[in-house]
Amino acid sequence: MSDARTRVRRLPERQVTDRATLNDLLDATVYCHVGVALDDGVHVLPMAHARDGDTLLVHGSTGSRLMRALAEGAGACVTVTEVTGIVVARSAFDSSMHYRSAVIYGTFHPIVEQGSAELGQGSPGAVAALDRLTETLIPGRSAEIRPPTARELAATMILAMPLTEWALKVGAKHPDDPAEERGQQVWAGWVPLTSRAGTPVPADEESAGLPVPASVQALVERVNARP
Amino acid sequence: MSDARTRVRRLPERQVTDRATLNDLLDATVYCHVGVALDDGVHVLPMAHARDGDTLLVHGSTGSRLMRALAEGAGACVTVTEVTGIVVARSAFDSSMHYRSAVIYGTFHPIVEQGSAELGQGSPGAVAALDRLTETLIPGRSAEIRPPTARELAATMILAMPLTEWALKVGAKHPDDPAEERGQQVWAGWVPLTSRAGTPVPADEESAGLPVPASVQALVERVNARP
């Protein structure tokens, strides 16, 4: 089943199987789309994610119906997509996007502070996993702020899925129109798309009187350093 | 069921029910994540989308297992997410993202050139629907290129879902830390994220000798005009 589900059938030449590219995509993005079937149908919700070695982490409210179903082991599909350009071919048919997309299948396990036997040796506790999620969103922030309170931990469900069954597709080709499409004075090419961070905006007077912290400065620089 | 599925339970104050905001989100984005349950589990795949009035359009290969299941009326969930900022609170718990996210439930119908009785009066044929998809990705492009060939149409499945059952969530608040978090010399605020288009890159020598077409120039300007 594993092989069948992760074999890319459409445009198979775009399938990438090396783990380093998967890691790079997961580390370059901050949110994913999690799909699960509940009793009233399939639901797909965006969630912040983080990678911790061979594990994908997400978190949400302990009161969420979807999070509870995932914690109970419902089969899940997590998809992470990054679009980096619009491909403009000489035909609509060959016009497309530059993208990287990972589809990860599996089941999640809850992470609790005492560690979970199911997750094996060395699995992080809840506080370490939350730090990992915070560090993915805003690297360096954990050291600038107080640790989570017991009340916050009780309200937060942290889920981990092993990165074992996944398919990765990379569409990075420029338009390559067949010979018969050429010579018609029609332009083909692509438009690069990048994400850019603007000037940090303080939330209140107290923050306006403080320097922008190192974590936030680094976040802006990291986003804007991408090609 | 409709009400139950589209009632936002977590952070219900972020639910937005006006249709104009849904339209705006669908029109400002070019891809969605489509979830469906097949016999080997839930699958979530990214797809380009377009809105045509009260209908959401997607397209893919007629050979795709997922597209065929959708065409046969499998229950689907389409999620469209736009992230526009990172919210940096004084606690990890309240740190988050600025986002708009629509979750649309329903079933798709295939669109064929002769029109489909299931879709009712005025539903576009396949060529018009493909034009709509092209125009969403690259506005003005359809007029610059040849129409699709019969071979291309035969290879393309176009699917339409009515925009009837949906939930929309907008997280646009700045961090608003409780009083007891303040006065600790900790900065709170947010970092705006925007998508920016770079200089169009010609695909080949013929294109390098032609001016960048109006559609591509307009695409760049449209992306870069966003706040």
Q: Give B6-17 pLDDT, tens digit per residue.
A: 888 778 888 888
- Which one of B42, B169, B174 would you mutate to disrupt binding with A, by most A Cβ within 10 Å of its Cβ? B42
pLDDT tens, B116-146? 444 444 445 889 999 999 999 999 999 999 9
pLDDT of residue B31: 97
Q: Residues B142, A92: contact at Cβ < 8 Å?
A: yes
Is residue B16 within 8 A of residue B169, CB to CB? The reply is yes
**Structure-model confidence comparison of residues B118 and A166, the more confident one:** A166
**Contact by Cβ (8 Å): A134, A141:** yes
3-state secondary structure of A100: strand
Residue A2 has pLDDT above 70, yes or no: no
- In A, minimum Cα distance to B76 occurs at A42
pLDDT band at A3 (very low <50, low <70, confident <90, very high): low
Share of chain B above pLDDT 90, in %: 77
- Rounded to an integer, the average pLDDT of B80-103 is 96
Q: How confident is the model at residue B2 (pLDDT cuts 50, 70, 90)?
A: very low
**Per-residue confidence at B178, pLDDT binned at 50, 70, 90?**
confident
Burial of B88-119, coded b for 16+ CB within 10 Å and e otherwise, reads bbbbbbbbbbbbbbbbbbbebbbbeeebeeeb
For B130, nearest residue in chain A (alpha carbons): A92
CA distance B48 to B34: 10
Give this complex's ipTM: 0.92
Q: In this complex, do B216 and A36 lie within 8 Å of one another by their Cβ atoms?
A: no
Judged by DSSP in three states, B79 sits in strand
Contact A35 B42 (CB under 8 A): yes
pLDDT score recorded for residue A65 = 94
User: How do beta strands A109-110 and A96-106 pair?
Assistant: unpaired
pLDDT at A145: 96
For B63, which residue in chain A has the nearest alpha carbon?
A10
Confidence at residue A191, expressed as pLDDT on a 0 to 100 scale: 97
Beta carbons of A64 and B10 less than 8 Å apart: yes
pLDDT at B56: 98
Q: What is the mean pLDDT of residues A69-87?
A: 97
Judged against a pLDDT cut of 60, whether residue A123 lies above it is answered with no
Looking up tokens 């997309």 gives: A101
Q: Give the model's pLDDT for residue B4.
A: 76
Partner residue opposite A145 with nearest CB, options B75, B90, B207: B90
Rounded mean pLDDT, B78-96: 95
Q: How far apart are the first and last CA of chain B?
A: 38
Q: What domains, with CATH codes, occur in chain A?
A: 2-176+187-193 (2.30.110.10), 194-227 (no CATH)
| Inter-chain CB proximity A216 and B183 less than 8 Å | no
B101 neighbourhood in chain A, CB within 8 Å: 45-46
